[in-house]
């Protein structure tokens, strides 16, 4: 699991030439979203913020003689101004990607239909799931912080227990005291387990960062 980024993917096919589809998508990201655009050989990358989370979208436009496909790969930073995103509650970001594809389609319609020239870009409709996602992500962030604090306290107690032979473990049922050799062994096991979990999380985060770096 990538603990730093949440990944999304969607695609849609448009019956239009590749250059027109690219122009329509680029126009939507710049004018409607205000994101920064960087072009490359296969399409472009768009970078900006959505729901207080930093996002990086990669758009590719494979085409044939009759149609052009729009492939969107979105990486959303899990840590944001409104908490830590463990899940995409209510499918918020999937809905946003559909809005982007709908906006691209509207720009194509304006470009290809003479009677629609001059029509403005439609703004994405406000998602009814945004409030629920905000509350849920805030709760998840609070739980993560409280759990991290408990792990830190337990880790500190395990270090003290390893040195002194007196291990105190706090829990809902009260304080558990383990003394002597058993206390030191239990303390050592707790320390090794916490360090192993921290190493796994760091390794997963590093792998996710490297993958995003290679994709960009």
Assign 171 a pLDDT band (cuts: 50, 70, 90). Answer: confident
Give the model confidence (pLDDT) of 101-111 as tens digits. Answer: 999 999 998 88
Residue 210: the pLDDT is 53
What does the pLDDT average to over 83-94? 82
The model's confidence at residue 30, banded by pLDDT at 50, 70 and 90, is: very high
pLDDT at 123 over 50: no
Calculated CA dihedral for residues 78, 29, 26, 60, nearest 10 degrees: 20
pLDDT of 122 > 90? The answer is no
32-75 pLDDT per residue, tens: 999 999 987 779 999 999 888 899 999 999 999 889 999 999 99
Residue range 142-168: mean pLDDT, rounded? 86
pLDDT attached to residue 89: 76
Indicate whether 125 pLDDT > 60: no
Pick from 29-33, 136-140, 167-171, 193-197: least confident = 136-140
């Amino acid at each position: 699991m990538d603990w730093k980024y949440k990944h999304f993917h969607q695609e849609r096919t448009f019956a239009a030439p590749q250059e027109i589809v690219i122009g329509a998508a680029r126009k939507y990201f710049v004018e409607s979203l205000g994101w920064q655009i960087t072009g490359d050989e296969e399409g472009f990358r768009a970078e900006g913020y959505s729901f207080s989370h930093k996002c990086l979208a990669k758009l590719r436009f494979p085409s044939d003689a009759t149609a052009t496909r729009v492939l969107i790969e979105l990486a959303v930073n899990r840590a944001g101004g409104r908490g830590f995103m463990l899940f995409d509650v209510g499918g918020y970001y999937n809905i946003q990607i559909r809005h982007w594809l709908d906006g691209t389609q509207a720009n194509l319609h304006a470009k290809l239909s003479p009677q629609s020239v001059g029509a403005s870009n439609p703004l994405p409709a406000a998602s009814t799931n945004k409030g629920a996602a905000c509350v849920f992500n805030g709760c998840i962030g609070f739980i993560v912080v409280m759990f991290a604090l408990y792990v830190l306290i337990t880790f500190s107690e395990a270090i003290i227990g390893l040195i002194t032979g007196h291990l105190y473990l706090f829990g809902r049922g009260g304080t558990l005291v383990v003394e002597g050799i058993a206390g030191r062994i239990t303390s050592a096991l707790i320390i090794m387990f916490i360090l192993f979990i921290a190493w796994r999380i760091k390794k997963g985060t590093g792998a996710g960062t490297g993958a995003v770096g290679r994709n960009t």
